[in-house]
Structure 1
Amino acid sequence: MRFNSLLVVVFLVLTLVIAGCGGASTSDKAGKQDTLRVGLVPNQAPDKIKAQYEPFRKYLSEKLNMPVELFVATDYAGVVEAMANDKLDVAYFGGLTYVQAKQRAKIHPIVTEIDQETKTTKYYSLIIAPAEKDTKSVGELKGKVFAFGDISSTSGSLYPRVMLDKAGIKVPDDFKNVVYTGGHDATAQAVQNGAVDAGGIEGRILKRLIAKDTVDEAKIKVLERHLVEGYPWVVRDSLDKQLEAKIVDAFLTMKDPVLLDLMRAEGFAKVSNETYAEAEQEAKRLGLLNPKK
């Protein structure tokens, strides 16, 4: 009898456990979003990026009334991988990273920042050189050593190539050597220290590095600049549409000047896939949709 009673108890416990698991599974299948997972491209050192966007994480969490997690990979490809494998709901990409990612993931852009310098949704990509060198134009860089950031960076790889191509320089054939630093801050240091003859960098990041005395403005000169469409905030197509609308609204109604400054923005504007048509066209032309160093 005791053995039979024990079997009954075990059966009841297992029934409750299975029922509980079934409830959790039903909730997941219903598409309930309990945490928003946000990915950020590491255009600078990953720890700096995560710290920079912590106030934004808190803001978004409060606006959506749900937990928000930040993810920063060690390189741009890592954020694309995470989005492609449905490990992220939202991602902050560069234009090039977005057009690369949409080849593998069902995603679309929603907003981008209004730039503090240009007062538009565009910002500057620069080609810079050490101030002490005699180089006066991009065309003089043939046969030199050039630094890109991450190969999938828009302003640190794609648009520097556009400017180089315009000057008749092919990458990598026309350089003595090509270096990939991994980030804009590392590129600035390489140029400042004379480790390379020139490099491609995002203008906004360079300004911040100078403001923080990380880079000495007197040691760097700008050879050329090109306007680039702003970084898109991207969501997966399958994200709940009501939640997507709330995320868009959180960006468009952001008013705190301190938070906006941390986001390098005066505000935000809506964007679509068509906004990044030029980046996609140039990436195809220059062989960067499936990049190989």
Structure 2
Amino acid sequence: MFNSLSRVHIAAISSVLAVLAILVATFASNKPNATKKATAETSASVNIPTLTFGVYTSDKPSEMYKKFKPMLRYIEDEIADRIEDAPQIKLKIYSTYELALKAFINDEVDFVRFGPASYVIAKQKNPDVRLLAIEENKGQRRFNGIILVREDSSFGSLTELRGKSFAFGDENSTIGRYLSQAELVEAGITARDLESYDYLGRHDKVVAAVLHGKYDAGAAKESTFAKYKEKGLRELKSFDNVTKPWVARGGITEEHFIALQNVLLGTKNPDVLKTFSKSLSGFAPCEDSEYDFVREGMKRSEGFFSNSEDEAAANTDTP
């Protein structure tokens, strides 16, 4: 009888163990799928908004990255302290003014830091773009563009550039094209009066080309000129320009627009500002009319082209 009961018990225990083994195997085989499903559901539930900041290369791309990345990180952190679901900010550096303009006009980036002429063009192409703030340099909303020559040259005025070569910046640059061409027009110099002229893109390329004797004169922003002045350059003529605007696309959410604007207008810490620009003292509210000065300069610059062929060539790549 004992042997009979033992056999029954052993059979029962074996059956239980077999069932447990099947359950364990089933659980083990399903666990990865369950884990993957849970991970996917968690990832899907985390939807962090993103704002893309666009800028064109007025200087070397590496310099642009070093200049903008800390500032954007600061803006991102400040926004996170102000609103829920704060966005991450991504930096997009475009190789040309034209590419940055097209991307912004087509709502491919959320906010930008543009030169005044690029803003004027963007506003003309897409009236919905909105000004966030204007930069102030040492408390001022104006700064200088420079028409520069080599230190050992004999040029004493713009009129003496007749028959000489000239290096402009980008074809959409405020200083590198529009306002410098307006200055030449006022001095009686047009495109056909120059021996040659070219658009070199970045300000540093213009300065280097003049410094190395490839062109007799060129136009660049004051900060770039100052960086290379001691290497053998001098100022032939300076002229006013309005400081740069920060601009948002029309489709940006009102919450993000207000948050961005408040952060910019509230940025007063010199240590933060200095990492971006030595001359930047802060940001101020501004209206579109602030850039009428530039619109007038762009209009005057049209006189630089003495015939339709020159003008057509200059406007070939304008967006």
The counterpart of 2:207, out of the listed 185, 188, 191, is: 188
In the aligned structure 2, how far is the partner of 1:33 from the partner of 1:270? Answer: 29
Q: What letter matches 1:62 in structure 2?
A: D
The C-alpha deviation readout for 1:252-275, integer Å capped at 9, x for no partner, is 111332321233201111112111
Shift of 1:41: 2.3
The percent of aligned pairs where both chains have the same amino acid is 25
Cα contact 1:89–1:235 (8 A) shared by 2? yes
Q: What is the deviation of 1:47?
A: 2.8
> TM-score, normalized by length of structure 2?
0.75
Q: Kindly indicate whether residue 96 of structure 2 is the aligned counterpart of residue 83 of structure 1.
A: no
Q: 2:89 aligns with which of 68, 71, 74?
A: 68
Matched, 1:131 2:154: no
Whole-angstrom CA distance in 2 between matches of 1:245 and 1:71: 22
Once superposed, what is the RMSD of the aligned Cα atoms?
Answer: 2.4
Task: Say if 2:207 is the partner of 1:232.
Answer: no
1:241: which partner in 2? 254
Q: How does 1:127-206 map to 2 (within 5 A)?
A: 127-170=147-190, 172-206=191-225
Secondary structure (helix, strand or coil) at the match of 1:36 reads strand
CA distance in 2, matches of 1:203, 1:186: 14
Q: Which residue matches 1:10?
A: none
- Distance in 2 of aligned mates of 1:53 and 1:153: 19
Partner of 2:275: 262
Q: How big is each residue's C-alpha offset from its partner over 1:9-28, in whole Å with a ceiling of 9 and x where there is no partner?
A: xxxxxxx9xxx9xx99xxxx
Give the structure 1 partner of residue 61 of structure 2: 46
Q: Secondary structure at the match of 2:125?
A: coil
Q: CA deviation at 1:102?
A: 1.7
Asked if structure 2 preserves the Cα contact closer than 8 Å seen for 1:121 and 1:269, the reply is no
Structure 2 residue identity aligned to 1:263 = F
Aligned with 1:201: secondary structure? Answer: strand
Question: Counterparts in 2 of 1:105-116, with a 5 A limit?
Answer: 105=126, 106-116=128-138
The number of residue pairs the alignment matches comes to 258
TM-fit CA distance, 1:130: 0.5
Partners of 1:110 and 1:272 within 8 A in 2: no
**CA shift digits 1:64-98 (9 cap, x unpaired):** 22210111111001111111221111011101011
Which residues of structure 2 form unaligned runs of 5+? 1-36, 81-86, 305-310
- Offset from partner CA, 1:23-47 (integer Å, 9 cap, x none): 99xxxxxxx9811111112111223
Shift of 1:151: 1.1
Query: Separation in 2 of the partners of 1:135 and 1:193?
Result: 16
Q: Does 1:56 align with 2:76?
A: no
Secondary structure of 2:315's counterpart equals coil
Deviation per CA, 1:199-231: give whole Å up to 9, x if none.
Answer: 001002322xx2xxxx25251010111111111
Partner SS state of residue 192, structure 2: coil
SS of residue matched to 1:227: strand
Q: Deviations over 1:150-202 (max 9, x none)?
A: 111111111111211111111x2111111211111111111111211000010
- TM-score norm. by structure 1 comes to 0.82
Partners of 2:70 and 2:276 within 8 A in 1: no
| Higher CA-based Rg | 2
> Gaps spanning 5+ residues in structure 1: where?
1-15, 25-31
Greater CA drift, 240-249 or 53-62: 240-249
Q: Distance in 1 between matches of 2:315 and 2:197?
A: 13
